[in-house]
Amino acid sequence: MSAARALLAPRYWGYHLVVVAALVAAAWLGTWQWHGWQERRAAEARDLTQGQPIPLADAIGPDDPFPGDLVGQPVEVRGTYLGGTLWVSGRRHEGREGYWVVDPVQVGDSVLPVVRGWEATPSWDERGPEPRGAVDLVGWLQPSESTGARDDDGGDRLLPQLRVADLAQYFDQDLYGAYVVTRDPGPGVVQADLEQLPDASRFTALRNLLYAVEWWFFGLFAAFVWWRWVREETEELEETEAEPAGSR
């Protein structure tokens, strides 16, 4: 019998089972801590969106680049609905795919796209009058999208993404380099989900991340110890088998 096969004998099973149990436990505990790290960071990102609203002008101006540290920041918008509703396809809500309803709001001399809500099917054939007139709303600030999706029919009012540059064909005014998802959906629609959340602090749930790394390192160490033990036992068995019968 070879030395390697000898290590599969019943008297060695206990050693192998201990190592397998240690590896499974380390992998599971490390994964659990990893998910905890991700969940706590996602929870903090959601909490940041519940902050105190600030005036739109304090967050971004008509010609300003998007402020990366204000993703999801609640802002106060005062302007005028212009009419000319647009729809953005491929938007999910509670497991269902549907459409964002987007209405342009003129703020000063520029236009800010406002996601007024979500609906399962675009209602351009049966919807009521488009919102018009003065509006005072609170919503979450979002950067212009760039998913790479192509609009195969540029003549309709259905878009595959909410990319601000793609909206220039619909309006004569300048456009903000952002859009807002309103906190209070309009009639006939439900609250649209935020596509982009703010980044949590790099130190958020750091302990969970370190615990995950620690458990995975322990699993690797257990595997290394088992490998060294198998190697040493194999060498010892081979030496024993190689000894002359009379010298044993």
pLDDT digits (tens, 9 = 90+) for 49-104: 778 899 999 999 998 999 877 888 899 999 999 988 899 999 989 889 999 999 99
The verdict on 156 and 211 lying in the same domain is: no
In 3-state terms, what secondary structure has residue 105?
strand
Which is more confident, 125 or 227? Answer: 227
State the residue range of the domain holding 224: 3-44+203-247
Is residue 226 a part of any domain in this protein?
yes
The distance between the two most distant Cα atoms of the chain, rounded to a whole number of Å, is 106
Helix axes 13-48, 206-242, angle to 10 degrees: 160
CA-wise closest residue to 115 among 150, 85, 70 = 85
Say if residues 73 and 141 touch (Cβ distance below 8 Å): yes
Most confident of the following: 21-25, 231-235, 236-240: 21-25
Answer whether 0.85 is exceeded by the pTM. no
Neighbours of 127 (CB within 10 A): 14
| Residue 95 placed within a domain | yes
DSSP for residue 163: -
Burial of 49 per CB tally in 10 Å (0-12, 13-18, 19+): middle
38 and 151 both lie in a single domain? no
| Domains in the chain, number | 2
pLDDT at position 109: 92
